[in-house]
Structure 1
Amino acid sequence: MMLQFLLGTADTLMVSHISDDAVAVIGISSQLFAAVNILFMAAASGAGILVAQRLGAGKEAEGRLIGIIGAKLCLGLGAVLSVLLYFGAGPIARMLQLPAQLQPLGETYISIVGGGMVFMAAMAGLGTVVRNTGNTRGPMYVAIGMNIIHIGTNYVAIYGAFGIPPLGLEGVAFSTTFSRLVGALVMFMLFCSCFRQKIEWKDFRLFDRALFKETVKISWPLGVNMSSWCFTQLVIFALIAMIGSKELSARTYMNTMESFCFLIGYSIALAGQIRIAHLFGSGDYQAAYRCAYRVIWIGLIFVQANALLVYVFGEEAIRLFTSDPEIIGMGVSLLAINLLLQPAKMLNMALVNALTAVGDTRYVMIVGFFVMWSVAVGCSYYLAVYLGWGLHGIYAAMIADELLRGLLVLARWRAKKFMIPSTAGVKAGSTVYTS
């Protein structure tokens, strides 16, 4: 996860040598691409959970077929969205409320990177299935290779080399797309060999209506929940853009630094999700229940340690990105608030992933939709724009949002409803729990 994140960090750090405006474009465009990626992640996560449950129940043939169905679904969505983003880059850049001087840069970046969304879809769909079979090292090696390629091509694009003139932000966009293409091809090879029975080209014709419905049944609430998060982040970035371009740049830099805090926590939560899904599939509900609490405490230790490091060395880190004293001042003022934000995020991530592992995705969707739009967006507007608190108001709203959602999913997990079969019946490894 860290290595995949570094693809975006490399863009932010290296593009800061072009201009703060270019960084602002990448910041808000990244929120758009994250919103698009949720469609892939939703389909991939639903398939991945069912693969883990089937493997836990000893039904590898069904898990293999679910993996193929999930991969095809992600690739189909990716192809459609690549076309839409490539040809609709102009209207989308205007919709994001980019300042007028950033519109041309935004349109260029969105059309190139957005046109390669099919490669991001492949990484999401194929990588999720591979990880849920227990092979978490393979995707890590792919991420290492992608980073090497991306940083090398970024250098050529920004500074020029081998007779190629500097290409600016357009070159960075091509670099991002090319590295994802290479990563998708290698991930496809890992996917084909992740089950004992190798997946061949002819296997992509396979389809099972019942398994497809089961995948969609667990995926669509995940899609709504992920969409809510990503689109609320887009709205919040648009609110920041209304405040000013310097605030937008400061938030982009802080977002990059904060990611180092919660990435390891998210990875622990994701590993917990895979483990809980295996235990749930095997029928060991008590072990699945206890596993979630181990995830919380281990994650909190690492996340808070990273948040303290960012607090101590944050000013020096921000100076790596920009020399603008106003942007640096805004970033430094937010470092202490980040110490409150990260534990709330960890609680939420751990228990949302636990509920997802047992198929309780509808509850996660309902809580996420109402709290994110009412608290994260509503309070951000009220505090940051109406009261004029700026970025401090945005952060206060983010903390309230994460903490409230975390407490609500904690109450759901403690109720142990996933241990009680629904009216449809739950048989370990055969039917996912539905709330």
Structure 2
Amino acid sequence: MDDKKFTLWVLAWPIFIEVFLQFLLGTADTLMVSRISDDAVAVVGFSNQLFNALMILFTTVASGAGILIAQKMGSRQQEHARTIGMMALNVGTAIGLLLSLLLILFPVPIARMLQMPEPLLPLGKIYIAIVGGGMVLTAIMSTLSTVIRSTGNTKGPMFIAIGMNVVHIFFNYAFIFGAFGFPQWGLTGVAISTLLSRVLGTIMLMGMFLNTFERRVTWRDLWTFDAKLFKDVMRIAWPLGVNMASWVFSQLIIFTFISMLGSKEMAARTYMNTLESFCFLLGSSVAMAVQIQVAHLFGGKRTDLAYRSAYRALGIGLVLVTVNAFIIYLFGRQFLGFFTTNPEIIALGASLLGLNLILQPGKMMNMALGNSLNAVGDSRYTMTIAILSMWSIATGLSYALGIHLGWGLIGIYCCMIADEYLRGILVWFRWKGQKKLRYAERLEPVSIKTCIQSEVL
């Protein structure tokens, strides 16, 4: 196995391009949908919160499988990695099918349950049914991308993301504005465009997956199942799932709090979420890359290198997100003006720019070191602190300050900042203690000094 595939830079830059293109896809949606109406933007933002919540059900298995695949690649167990990838695909597809049926059949009851404002329901019904109906495609794409990246091939998903973006933006423009002879279908067209781009991505990722491992995957192999390996996957995956669920559902509940404030606040939050995503693009890429790298090193029993890799990634990430957040702070009002001309929405978004500058470094610390803990199998710890912090501070305190005391969006953002920094500090001390790393060394001592450090770091 070529360790050069698992250096931080080699892993991170294609992930960045892929994540950046995903951001562009989301930004293109927001920009183009804003030409329809601010209500349409609110529907997209609200629906995406719902989709992110449901995606946990299959990304849980994919994430656990990805970590274990990277570990198996590090320990030169290609066949095990191959089997894990196929099992993750089967489970993810099954879950995605169930979610698709649910969203096609019950879009309005689900939207009402989540407190979508009544005037938005007609648009919400169409968007949730069409985009949610393609959840099975999202499940397959998410699983395949995670599996392929975890083998050290981060370029493949990047190239596919480029193709998806081109298709998505083209059909968005065509359906929204009635260009090139297409019907002018507004938000319905945006939903169809999203679905078409995901069909393309699924086909291309499947073709790449079949040739990802040393031994080619055949269609008959896709039904392979190994109970012991699946148990190992779930040992890592279920705490990751609870962690992700805590974050996504807490964000969903916070979004319902914001909906209580009004549609302008919902639109402002949606626009700010786009700017925040831009801030964290590079940091997120580094955090995703270091998880793969640390898992690979941990699987190869190179624990000292794994330990130092996390800190190196954190340092790089902090610089990147701080610079990006400062740029957004300086020019955020102008950026918000690209999305809407409503002065009230722009003023609401602009009031949060300084808080975003404080938020991003805490998020980076939490992501880089939290991902490193997950990579060595310490996912129960990150799960525990997520439950405690997200529900008591990010959610509970958000209601107290934002709604009960009337602080609005500013109060809610302050609680989000407190949550990120608390979890960031806790994972810092946990990683510094090296509990899982030292346990691995006791199980199978390895002379770290024999590693060629420059090749990995």
- TM-score scaled by length of structure 1: 0.96
Q: Which residue of 2 aligns with 1:311?
A: 329
Whole-Å separation in 2 of the counterparts to 1:133 and 1:197: 13
Q: Post-superposition shift, 1:40?
A: 2.0
Pairing 1:182–2:200 present: yes
Pairing 1:202–2:217 present: no
Q: Which residue of 2 aligns with 1:212?
A: 230
Q: Which amino acid aligns with 2:136?
A: V
1:320 is aligned, of 338, 344, 347, to: 338
Whole-Å separation in 2 of the counterparts to 1:89 and 1:53: 40
Q: Which residue of 1 aligns with 2:4?
A: none
Q: Post-superposition shift, 1:216?
A: 1.3
Q: Which residue of 2 aligns with 1:433?
A: none
Q: Post-superposition shift, 1:427?
A: 5.6
Q: Which amino acid aligns with 1:54?
A: K
> Is the 2:250–2:391 Cα contact (8 Å) retained in structure 1?
yes
Pairing 1:266–2:284 present: yes
Q: Which amino acid aligns with 2:49?
A: Q
Q: Which residue of 2 aligns with 1:41?
A: 59
Task: Give runs of ≥4 in structure 1 deviating > 4 Å.
Answer: 425-429
> Is the 1:282–1:428 Cα contact (8 Å) retained in structure 2?
no
Q: Which amino acid aligns with 1:84?
A: L
Whole-Å separation in 2 of the counterparts to 1:13 and 1:329: 18
Whole-Å separation in 2 of the counterparts to 1:85 and 1:335: 35
Whole-Å separation in 2 of the counterparts to 1:60 and 1:133: 9
Single out whichever of 16-25 and 325-334 deviates more from structure 2: 325-334
Q: Which residue of 2 aligns with 1:11?
A: 29
SS for the counterpart of 1:421 is helix
| 1:268-299 C-alpha deviation (Å, 9 max, x unpaired) | 01100111001100101111111110111000
Distance verdict in 2 for CA 1:352–1:428, change over 3 Å: farther
> Is the 2:176–2:190 Cα contact (8 Å) retained in structure 1?
yes
The CA RMSD over aligned residues, in Å, is 1.3
1:333 is aligned, of 343, 346, 351, to: 351
2:412 is aligned, of 389, 394, 401, to: 394
SS for the counterpart of 2:280 is helix
| 1:189-229 C-alpha deviation (Å, 9 max, x unpaired) | 11111111111101112111101111111111111110110
1:371 is aligned, of 383, 389, 401, to: 389
2:182 is aligned, of 160, 164, 176, to: 164
Q: Post-superposition shift, 1:22?
A: 0.2
Q: Which amino acid aligns with 1:344?
A: G
Q: Which residue of 2 aligns with 1:287?
A: 305
Q: Post-superposition shift, 1:5?
A: 2.3
Q: Which amino acid aligns with 2:56?
A: I
> Is the 2:376–2:437 Cα contact (8 Å) retained in structure 1?
no
Q: Which amino acid aligns with 1:218?
A: I
Whole-Å separation in 1 of the counterparts to 2:106 and 2:439: 46
Q: Which residue of 2 aligns with 1:71?
A: 89
Single out whichever of 13-22 and 93-102 deviates more from structure 2: 93-102
| 1:113-136 C-alpha deviation (Å, 9 max, x unpaired) | 110001110111000010011111
Whole-Å separation in 1 of the counterparts to 2:338 and 2:23: 17
| 1:16-40 C-alpha deviation (Å, 9 max, x unpaired) | 0000000000011111111111222
Pairing 1:385–2:403 present: yes
Whole-Å separation in 1 of the counterparts to 2:30 and 2:443: 47
Q: Which residue of 2 aligns with 1:25?
A: 43
Q: Which residue of 2 aligns with 1:277?
A: 295
> Is the 1:280–1:428 Cα contact (8 Å) retained in structure 2?
no
Q: Which residue of 2 aligns with 1:191?
A: 209
Q: Which amino acid aligns with 1:411?
A: F
Q: Which amino acid aligns with 2:236?
A: I
Q: Post-superposition shift, 1:41?
A: 1.6
Q: Which residue of 2 aligns with 1:251?
A: 269
Q: Post-superposition shift, 1:311?
A: 1.0
Whole-Å separation in 1 of the counterparts to 2:109 and 2:438: 49
Whole-Å separation in 1 of the counterparts to 2:205 and 2:370: 27
Q: Post-superposition shift, 1:6?
A: 2.0
> Is the 1:296–1:346 Cα contact (8 Å) retained in structure 2?
yes
Q: Which residue of 1 aligns with 2:112?
A: 94
2:75 is aligned, of 50, 57, 67, to: 57
Q: Which amino acid aligns with 2:372?
A: A
Pairing 1:136–2:163 present: no
> Is the 1:55–1:281 Cα contact (8 Å) retained in structure 2?
yes
| 1:145-169 C-alpha deviation (Å, 9 max, x unpaired) | 1100000000111001233321011
Whole-Å separation in 1 of the counterparts to 2:412 and 2:262: 14
- TM-score scaled by length of structure 2: 0.92
Q: Which residue of 2 aligns with 1:432?
A: none
Q: Which amino acid aligns with 1:123?
A: M
Pairing 1:152–2:191 present: no
Q: Which amino acid aligns with 1:27?
A: G
Q: Post-superposition shift, 1:421?
A: 2.9
> Is the 2:86–2:223 Cα contact (8 Å) retained in structure 1?
no
> Is the 1:57–1:428 Cα contact (8 Å) retained in structure 2?
no
Paired residues in the alignment total 427
Question: 5+ unaligned residues in a row in structure 2: which ranges?
Answer: 1-18, 447-457
Q: Which amino acid aligns with 1:151?
A: I
Q: Which amino acid aligns with 2:378?
A: D
